[in-house]
Chain A
Amino acid sequence: MRRKEAPGRLTLTRAARLAAAVLLAAPALLFSADLTPQQQIESRLMCYCGCSDLTVRTCTCGTADGIREEIGSRLARGESPDQVVAAFIARYGAQIRSAPTKRGFDLLAWSTPYVALFAAGAALVLLVRRWGRGGRRAGAEPPPAAAEAPTSPADREIMKRIEREIREGR
């Protein structure tokens, strides 16, 4: 017997609305614990000590200490974070930056994974739709009626589903 949807019961639309509201509201309602300007700069620079592949923020060697001190004194002199980073790049080259910039050629580094992922995702959606049409056209196999039979008690349905899945080898 089909159970009636209780007024307070979660429906797909309600669930989707609620999830969207939570996800959209969360960033506006919350704020993340920001790093201090000193820590931000430390995260943007790699330690060039040669003994690790760590940012200045995480490296514990003497070289990193020296860089941290210099960052502190430059900030104290009134330099902006970008100016401090630029000063280090001018001295040690672009390699000291911990991540590529989001401009010019370097933008490729950031965009390619997502472009590839979205392109492959779009292709996959098209494929799945086409395969879905193939499935419906073939129509040989009925939908898993037992699992969806409104008259079966929930427990029996679950048991049947699990039994079927086990039998079919998944």
Chain B
Amino acid sequence: MPDFGTLCLLIALACTGWAVIASYNGWRARSGELILSAERAVYAAWALVALAVLSLEYCIFQDRFDVEYVASYSNRALPRLYKVAALWAGQSGSILFWLFILLSYAALVLLLNRRRNRLLMPIVTTTLSFVATFFLLLVNFMTRPFVRLAVAPPDGGGMNPQLQNPFMAIHPPCLYAGYVGLTVPFAFAIAALATGSLNETWFRTTRRFTILSWFILGTGILLGGWWAYVELGWGGYWAWDPVENASLIPWLTCTAFLHSVMIEERKKMLRVWNLALVIMSFELAILGTFITRSGVISSVHSFTKSDVGPVFAGFLGLSVLVSVGLLIYRLPDLKSENRLDSFVSRESTFLFNNLLLVGAAFAVLWGTLFPILSEAVRGVKITVGPPFFNEIMVPIAFGLITLAGICPIIAWRRATPRKLLERIQVPFWSLLGGALALILGGVRDVYAIVSFSLCVFVIATTVMEFYWGARARQKATGERALAALRSLVDRNKRRYGGFIVHMGVMLIIIGITGSSAFKQDRTASLKRGESFSVGPYTMRFEDMVSSPDPGAAAHHGDETPNQNSEFQGARLAVFRGGRPAGMLVPGQNFYSAGQTTSTEVDILHSLREDLYLILIGFDPREGRATLKAYLNPLINWIWIGGAVVIAGAWLAMLPDLRDRKREAESRLREAERNAA
């Protein structure tokens, strides 16, 4: 089976290599046969890489420890879910998985466009195949997943215990799908630049792919945060680690694109900027991969330092060179009308939103790369950690939240102060009311007051937008309130999906603010029967439990049972305001394979706050357990907000009547062109 996998990858490389040559030459020579052959080669490459993925999974499930990758990242006792996840636990497997996602996107794009966008498709195929060829070169010659060992060990090393979490099984595929998805708009942008077909086709065709990538990448980031929260045992969800930053940066530029493309649709402006944003998002995704895999920056997430770093850097350099070169070459054809009716217009707010989003992406990138710069210039290694990013990002975030509140109430083209004032009244009074309520409620943290009040402002703006629209529709059509709201949303899913996304983001910010500004922690060393408190909670240490204790096992029900580990935990009775609130069992898992330990936190969740308990250690001689408790106010609103963002993005991706009409018209025009 390993040899079969190797063979599949070699043939797949030949297929994508052929696809690059055939589609490019087919486009140059206007040869339909070559173009078709290239497209078939992409389908074949997808099938071959799928077979290679299945081969590796087969080796993992069959405990083929003669395969180095299997011996390194799996073992006999590994639960089935994590045997699937072992595919992306190591360098070569994750690149193979990345490649599989890329070719899946490529095959889907070719399938969906087999009768459309025929002018762009050859170069789209060339670009997608070129990127796939790069990854195939890696898995064939640099980081091979099917390398055999001379002597197979009796058992494998197993997966890192911290990766053995259901969320970790989903988080990397989401990130990869998000990163790789950005290749699709990039390929269409390159095709538009190469062919000179610079009208709206390229971004209309890729709009759904862009939103999909944005939303999957965002979901991946959130799942990563959840995993860090429940698994890493430090009471937080985001540490501004270089690899976390690498996922956030393209997400920010992609968010900027999703806003600025609306100006191009309406005003035919920002054509260069939108192409630049799409190129930037793709290059930043590759840069993120480079950071993760090269070892240039130390990070807990990094794969083992390997020699793929320079190759990634070379690929990054080449793709930047080609993209920017094409963009410069086409600059004369990309002149837009560049006219704004008024400074006070929604277009302006979108421009400033883009400034802040790209500024935020730059700030994060700058902070992430500054240690390298410092070492290169001064020879001094420094750390750019959470205090830097928090201080730099908070003002930018406030600016973005303010714009998210103002933007919907400013009319397109031109807004008069009178109208603006009329529409801003409810949100503004909500902002002031919110701030006042917080102050009267005893909140004394200025950042928290500003942040919460701005969130209230945005939520009020968004709710009013739904209310005004539904009420006006109700009066115009006589529909009932709910029916009016439904038909309003149904008629423009993208617009109202976007508003729902804004609401979700505000809930996330409320969660981040609450859990950052009002976080409390307490560490205590307790004997049985002793108590300690944090916020309104008191925890009494009852006794120690260990697996196979059913209570302990059941308590950590989110963990798939693993015969290879032994659990030891402290049982604590929890009281809130003197009343019993439950029983928590924070503990540690000891993994015999690799002799490692992982922290198993226990959390009492509520909408108001989380009580988060960590067992730091247990001294059996003195019978003392050392425990750390965190009180994380409002933290669950981050995950609730994430679900709202997902719902909004999903709604925005659904086709509506307007899209279908436009699509039909576009097909008709293309058919007429072809006939002519």
Contact (A129, B343) CB under 8 Å given A43-B387, A58-B235, A60-B599: yes
B492 at the interface (CB under 8 A from A): yes
**CB of B214 to closest CB in A, whole Å:** 18
A134 at the interface (CB under 8 A from B): yes
B114 at the interface (CB under 8 A from A): no
**Is A95's CB under 8 angstroms from B381's CB?**
yes
**Is A60's CB under 8 angstroms from B419's CB?**
no
Residues of A within 8 A of B414 (CB): 143-144
Contact (A134, B339) CB under 8 Å given A105-B374, A113-B363, A120-B355: yes
Q: Mark B579-614, 1 if CB is under 8 A from A, else 0.
A: 000000000000000000001000000000000001
**CB of A40 to closest CB in B, whole Å:** 10
**A158–B488 alpha-carbon span in the complex (Å):** 13
Q: Mark B357-385, 1 if CB is under 8 A from A, else 0.
A: 01100110011001000100110111111
A90 at the interface (CB under 8 A from B): no
**Is B366's CB under 8 angstroms from A30's CB?**
no
- Number of B residues whose C-beta is below 8 Å from A? 92
**Is A99's CB under 8 angstroms from B339's CB?**
no
B62 at the interface (CB under 8 A from A): no
Residues of A within 8 A of B265 (CB): 169-170
A132 at the interface (CB under 8 A from B): yes
**Is B413's CB under 8 angstroms from A144's CB?**
yes
Residues of A within 8 A of B130 (CB): none
A 110-139 contacts with B by CB, 8 A: 110, 112-114, 116-117, 120-121, 124, 128-132, 134-136, 138
Residue of A nearest to B659 (CB): A169
**Is B446's CB under 8 angstroms from A155's CB?**
no
**A22–B450 alpha-carbon span in the complex (Å):** 10
**Is A98's CB under 8 angstroms from B383's CB?**
yes
Contact (A155, B475) CB under 8 Å given A32-B447, A105-B378, A117-B396: yes
Residues of A within 8 A of B469 (CB): 158-159, 162
Q: Mark B127-155, 1 if CB is under 8 A from A, else 0.
A: 00000000000000000000000000000
Q: Mark B484-509, 1 if CB is under 8 A from A, else 0.
A: 00001001101100000000000000
**CB of A16 to closest CB in B, whole Å:** 11
**Is A99's CB under 8 angstroms from B383's CB?**
yes
A168 at the interface (CB under 8 A from B): yes
**A130–B419 alpha-carbon span in the complex (Å):** 24
Of A29, A46, A99, A117, the contact of B355 (CB 8 Å cutoff): A117
**Is B339's CB under 8 angstroms from A138's CB?**
yes
**Is B449's CB under 8 angstroms from A30's CB?**
yes
B422 at the interface (CB under 8 A from A): yes
Contact (A95, B446) CB under 8 Å given A155-B475, A158-B469: no
Among B72-80, B103-111, B424-432, the one that faces the other chain is B424-432
**Is A95's CB under 8 angstroms from B495's CB?**
no
Residues of A within 8 A of B495 (CB): 165-166, 170
**Is B473's CB under 8 angstroms from A159's CB?**
yes
**Is A32's CB under 8 angstroms from B446's CB?**
yes
B621 at the interface (CB under 8 A from A): no
| Main SS class of interface, B | helix
Residues of B within 8 A of A12 (CB): 417, 420-421
Q: Mark A67-103, 1 if CB is under 8 A from B, else 0.
A: 0000000000000000000000000011111111000
Residues of A within 8 A of B388 (CB): 98-100, 109-110
**Is A54's CB under 8 angstroms from B239's CB?**
yes
Residues of B within 8 A of A62 (CB): 617
Residues of A within 8 A of B377 (CB): 105
**Is A100's CB under 8 angstroms from B444's CB?**
no
Residues of B within 8 A of A43 (CB): 387
**CB of A126 to closest CB in B, whole Å:** 11
Of A26, A94, A154, A161, the contact of B411 (CB 8 Å cutoff): A161
Q: Mark B453-494, 1 if CB is under 8 A from A, else 0.
A: 000000000000000110111011000000000001001101
**A44–B383 alpha-carbon span in the complex (Å):** 11
A 38-69 contacts with B by CB, 8 A: 43-44, 46, 51-55, 58-60, 62, 65
Residue of A nearest to B416 (CB): A148
Residues of B within 8 A of A98 (CB): 383, 385-388
Residue of B nearest to A138 (CB): B339
Contact (A93, B446) CB under 8 Å given A10-B428, A135-B342, A170-B266: no
**Is A168's CB under 8 angstroms from B266's CB?**
yes
Residues of A within 8 A of B232 (CB): 52
Of A55, A100, A159, A170, the contact of B386 (CB 8 Å cutoff): A55
**Is B355's CB under 8 angstroms from A121's CB?**
yes
Of B262, B300, B446, the contact of A52 (CB 8 Å cutoff): B300
B352 at the interface (CB under 8 A from A): yes
Contact (A60, B348) CB under 8 Å given A30-B439, A98-B383: no
**What are some 12 contacts across the A-B interface (CB < 8 A)?**
A46-B385, A53-B385, A58-B386, A59-B234, A60-B599, A94-B381, A100-B382, A100-B384, A105-B378, A128-B340, A159-B469, A162-B488
* 12 additional A-B residue pairs with CB within 8 Å, beyond A12-B417, A155-B472, A158-B468: A10-B428, A52-B300, A58-B234, A100-B374, A100-B382, A106-B374, A117-B362, A124-B351, A134-B339, A135-B340, A141-B341, A159-B472
